[in-house]
Amino acid sequence: MLSDKVKLTAKDILEKEFKTAMRGYKPEEVDKFLDWIIKDYETFHQEIEELQLENMKLKKQLEDASKRPATTQTAGTTNFDILKRLSNLEKHVFGSKLYD
């Protein structure tokens, strides 16, 4: 899972404190930027969870579909129906020339 690979959480970012130095950054700007990062981080985390759920659902559907036996009918049409239609089409297009 992704949570095993991700090192930071939104809470970690929120609670991170930096030491100040003589000519450091403005804390307000850093805090504002970190707030943006936290929002994006939470959005990405939510999106990843949704995609993981969708992925599991699709895998289950694929597994269920592979367990069903294959049928010889496709949308209610059998091979016999297709051959019959093809024969009728040939008769219509070529008429009696086909059997001469």
Domain boundaries, the chain: 2-68, 72-100
Cβ-based neighbours of 30, under 8 Å, separated by 6 or more: 18
Q: How far apart are CA 52 and CA 61, in angstroms?
A: 14
Q: How far apart are CA 52 and CA 3, in angstroms?
A: 12
- 10 Å CB burial of residue 48 (0-12, 13-18, 19+) is middle
- pLDDT (tens digit per residue) in 37-62: 999 989 998 999 999 999 999 999 99
Residue spans of alpha helices (H) in the chain? 10-15, 27-67, 79-94
pTM for this predicted structure: 0.51
- pLDDT (tens digit per residue) in 13-39: 888 888 777 778 888 888 888 998 999
